[in-house]
Amino acid sequence: MRLRLAGAVLLSAVAYYVYLPLPSGVSEPWKLMLLDALFRSCMQASDIAHALGVCHRIHLLSQVVSWVEVIEARSCPAVHVTDSTLGGVPTRVFQPKGGKKLKRGVIYFHGGGWALCSGRMRSYDLLFRKMAEDLDAVIVSVDYRLAPWAVFPEQYYDALAASRAFLSDQVLERYSIDPERVCVSGDSAGANLAAAVTQKFALEDTMRVKFKAQALIYPVMQALDFHTPSYQQNQAVPILYRPIMARFWLQYLGADSSLEPVLLANNHSCLEESSLSAEIRSKLNWTALLPAKHRKHFQPVVKKTGSPGVVKKVPGLLDVRAAPLLAEQGVLGRTPKAYVMTCEFDVLRDDGLMYARRLQDAGVSVTSDHYEDGFHACMVFAFLPMMSSVGQRSMNNYIRWLDQNL
């Protein structure tokens, strides 16, 4: 009897910890709850280790991710998989066996807040094998340096170096890649890097080969407004909570973590901040850039007085290499056709939607692929054991777009 009672109490405690009220409409909520419980457990353990001075919170999280997810390069009958470097940056290359002599090529930057994950994780490995086989394409996954050991602009420089090498005649010839069919892609923080690299190359007239397409999966694009409708609506929706995104930004930009409440209150973008001109503010004015169905009932949070001077302390907040949404219209207009995936239940939804709108306004052909039941990072959960319906749909549509546009 006592054993049964103890079991019931333990089961109730687990259910209480796992259960999380989620918005109606999110895909397979119980799977998301279980996934969130795992992430929360790891993050809470890392916070405790950090507070006790055992190690940096990111170090513990990275160790857990590596232990659970990172796998060795293994070829299979359909795809040859090898570890290599591009421009001095570690990469994993997925080459389809057979098919056409000249292949399509995709260089991909993984997500993880510029601080976590790897292109050698099992979830990415499965995605890239499927892409290589279905598209008859060479997929290059880039392992750029991570925060806090590397901070902006080092991740950007790694992405730039790997991309430049990827587009070189030597590498295109080595992997039999068609120079007319190359794409840059990434998810979340990786999509941020992909967009920044695309903008940089758009300005280089001397490059013989340039990307023909950019595919951005739930991209993070700015750190001046943490009260967009999606940040307000989804601030407590897993797996990317609003405070965690602010923390990622501060780590990436090498800023003091004590500024987290300042960012979350939008005090850093107050009207007294002279560095933020009307032109800059217009580039992230969601009242004009978002359709009414996404604006809903939400109101902008613009403080008259806040914390002027933060932008001077953290100049990366206004650097287009870190915040691609702030790019000039003329630069955006020179970038290639784009695919932008967004999810309704994601704090980054409006970053992606605003970027897609600004690209369209600049004359770029844009496919905006929005998932009404999607959540952040859903596409990498297209495989077992956390296979989700929206993950499979988003992955298949992403690959279909590449097939039709590359």
Catalytic residues: 188, 346, 376
Yes or no: say if 345 and 239 are a contact pair by the CB < 8 Å rule: no
Which helix (H) or strand (E) covers residue 248, if one does? helix 242-252
Q: Give me the phi and psi of 368, to 5 degrees please.
A: -100, 115
d(CA 390, CA 261): 33
Yes or no: say if 139 and 91 are a contact pair by the CB < 8 Å rule: no
Length of the chain: 406
Yes or no: say if 184 and 321 are a contact pair by the CB < 8 Å rule: no
Yes or no: say if 324 and 195 are a contact pair by the CB < 8 Å rule: yes
DSSP state of 258: G
The order of strands in the sheet holding 103-109 is 79-86, 89-96, 137-142, 103-109, 177-187, 213-217, 337-345, 366-375
* Alpha-carbon distances, residue 46 vs 34, 61, 81, 240 (angstroms): 19, 6, 33, 16
Token readout for 177 is 């890649």
Beta bridge partners of 328: none
**Nearest alpha carbon to residue 289 among 346, 341, 331, 230:** 230
**Nearest alpha carbon to residue 350 among 184, 266, 226:** 226
Residue with tokens 């990786």: 190
